[in-house]
């Protein structure tokens, strides 16, 4: 009896934990797709376990696999209702850390409505946006399905990062972006700034490049072109734009700054910032962007002088001291030199 009570309490505590990552696996349509979607969701499971993130898995992939810190999918309740309920629960969580929503599966587009195909009733982009509206914490939404492009326009918003596997609803073929996007958060070569973590921007770049390479190696015409949207202009940026290999049209700004703030550590021993440190980091990075816009290439010396103290404060958050804990700058003040081994830190 005691074990039963303790188990019930443990499950209640797990259910009460705020979820960090919601992975939704849609209707596979064919066995080969189901196997692929299952593998991608397992990759996310491993990533969340490594990073200490609480993950909720919704969909057929959850039938036979437990998820970290959460119960398995409830097959008695339609997946659409489960997703809405989980997002409603997430609205009660106030945090500077993002809620990640990962959609793995197929999508459809009829010229007016973009849908993500679930087991049972589907969910369209407008409905999903309504469910997301009450959530005040940052959001990272990755729709890794075909015909996902219109989700950029529907879900774009303040403090949101939206990633889609395709640039439009007309790219209706099976999308492979989800495989590479999931894998990117565990790939050392995706860590472009060498901070021992992979940001959404870095994962987008890695995945989009890998997708492009896949089609070239297969000698096939690419039928998917991923987009990244994070500045609330509802336009999204292609791989070429984010890489700086293309110019934006009109007054459109290239996306990626917000996406670079949200990351997942590559190992379980990496530096993990507290909520207060994350808020300070965002404030310091905002100051750096203001300086860049103010001085830019016009006065690099002024930019350097003003930016150096801010960069030193940023470095304090990332340098580890075994005696004082993570995020301590080894006792150095801002008048001392950054140790050479830490010059590549953000």
Q: 336-346, pLDDT tens digit by residue?
A: 333 333 333 33
Q: Where residue 292 falls among pLDDT bands split at 50, 70, 90?
A: confident
Measured CA to CA, the distance from residue 198 to residue 216 in angstroms comes to: 25
Please, what is the average pLDDT of the chain? Answer: 84
Measured CA to CA, the distance from residue 102 to residue 259 in angstroms comes to: 15
**19-25 mean pLDDT:** 97
Q: Please tell me the pTM assigned to this model.
A: 0.82
Least confident of 11-25, 86-100, 123-137, 246-260: 11-25
Of the segments 70-74, 195-199, 285-289, which one has the largest average pLDDT value?
Answer: 195-199
Please answer whether residues 104 and 40 qualify as being in contact, where contact means their C-beta atoms are separated by less than 8 angstroms.
yes
pLDDT of 191 over the 50 cut: yes
pLDDT at 74: 57
What is the residue whose two structure tokens read 């959460």? 70
pLDDT of 145 over the 50 cut: yes
Beta strands 114-116; 123-124: pairing state:
antiparallel
90 bridge partner residues: none
pLDDT at 27: 97
pLDDT at 270: 61
pLDDT higher at 127 or 292: 127
The strand ranges marked E within 157-271 are: 160-164, 197-199, 227-229, 263-265
Measured CA to CA, the distance from residue 342 to residue 249 in angstroms comes to: 38
DSSP 270-335: S----HHHHHHHHHHHHHHHHHHHHHTTT-HHHHHHHHHHHHHHHHHHH--BTTTBTT--TT--TT
Least confident of 41-50, 59-68, 193-202, 252-261: 59-68
pLDDT at 7: 43
Q: Where residue 271 falls among pLDDT bands split at 50, 70, 90?
A: low
Q: Tens digit of pLDDT for each residue in 106-144?
A: 999 999 999 999 999 999 999 999 999 999 999 999 999
**DSSP label of 253:** P
Our separate counts of H helices and E strands in the chain read 10, 11
**Contacts for 270 with CB less than 8 Å, ≥ 6 apart:** 196, 197
Least confident of 54-58, 142-146, 276-280, 306-310: 276-280
Report the side by side order of strands in the sheet with 55-58. 55-58, 21-25, 99-104, 139-143, 160-164, 227-229
């Amino acid at each position: 009896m005691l074990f039963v009570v303790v188990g019930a309490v443990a499950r209640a505590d797990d259910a009460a934990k705020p979820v960090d990552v919601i992975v939704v696996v849609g209707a596979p349509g064919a066995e080969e797709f189901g196997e692929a979607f299952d593998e991608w969701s397992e990759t996310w499971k491993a990533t969340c376990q490594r990073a200490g993130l609480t993950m909720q898995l919704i969909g057929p992939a959850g039938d036979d696999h437990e998820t970290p810190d959460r119960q398995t999918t409830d097959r008695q309740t339609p997946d659409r209702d489960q997703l809405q309920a989980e997002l409603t629960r997430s609205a009660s969580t106030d945090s500077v850390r993002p809620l990640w929503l990962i959609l793995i599966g197929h999508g459809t587009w009829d010229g007016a409505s973009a849908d993500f195909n679930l087991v049972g009733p589907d969910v369209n982009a407008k409905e999903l946006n309504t469910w997301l509206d009450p959530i005040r914490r940052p959001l990272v939404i990755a729709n890794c399905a075909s015909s996902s492009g219109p989700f950029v326009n529907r879900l774009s918003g303040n403090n949101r990062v939206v990633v889609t596997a395709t640039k439009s609803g007309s790219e209706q073929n099976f999308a492979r972006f989800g495989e590479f996007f999931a894998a990117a958060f565990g790939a050392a070569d995706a860590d472009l700034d060498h901070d021992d973590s992979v940001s959404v921007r870095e994962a987008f770049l890695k995945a989009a490049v890998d997708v492009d390479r896949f089609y070239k190696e297969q000698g096939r015409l690419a039928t998917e072109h991923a987009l990244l949207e994070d500045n609330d202009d509802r336009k999204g940026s292609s791989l070429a734009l984010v890489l700086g290999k293309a110019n934006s049209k009109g007054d459109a700004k290239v996306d990626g700054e917000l996406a670079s703030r949200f990351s997942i550590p590559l190992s379980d021993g990496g530096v993990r910032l507290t909520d207060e440190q994350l808020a300070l980091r965002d404030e310091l990075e905002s100051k750096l962007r203001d300086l860049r816009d103010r001085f830019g290439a016009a006065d690099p010396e002024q930019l350097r002088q003003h930016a150096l103290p801010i960069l030193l404060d940023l470095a304090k958050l990332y340098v580890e001291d075994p005696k004082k804990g993570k995020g301590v700058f080894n006792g150095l003040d801002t008048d001392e030199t950054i140790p050479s081994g830490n010059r590549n830190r953000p």
